[in-house]
Amino acid sequence: MVESSFILAEQCIMKPFTKSVKDVCAPFSCGNGQIEKDLNDFFENEADLYREELLGKTYCWITKEEPRQIIGLFTISNDSIKTTYLERSTSNRLNRSINNAKRGRSYPAVLIGRLGVNEHFQGGGRFIGTQILDILKDWFTDENNKTGCRFMVVDAHNHPRTLHFYQQNGFNFLHKTEEEEREYYHIADDEPIHTRLMYFDLKKHLNII
What's the mean pLDDT when you consider all of the chain? 93
pLDDT for res 1: 57
User: How far apart are the C-alpha atoms of 152 and 133, rounded to whole Å?
Assistant: 10
pLDDT for res 184: 87
pLDDT for res 76: 98
Domain boundaries, the chain: 8-205
Q: Quick: pLDDT tens for 176-194.
A: 899 999 988 899 989 999 9
pLDDT for res 2: 67
Mean pLDDT calculated for residue range 136-163: 95
Q: Does the pLDDT of residue 47 top 80, yes or no?
A: yes
pLDDT for res 165: 97
Confidence of residue 156 (pLDDT cuts 50, 70, 90): very high
Q: Do 198 and 133 form a contact (C-beta atoms < 8 A)?
A: no
Q: Quick: pLDDT tens for 66-78.
A: 899 999 999 999 9
The domain covering 8-205 belongs, at the CATH homologous superfamily level, to: Gcn5-related N-acetyltransferase (GNAT) (3.40.630.30)
Letter string b/e over residues 80-104, b meaning 16 or more CB atoms within 10 A of that residue's CB: bbebeebbeebbeebbeebeeeeee
Q: CA 157: distance to chain centroid?
A: 11
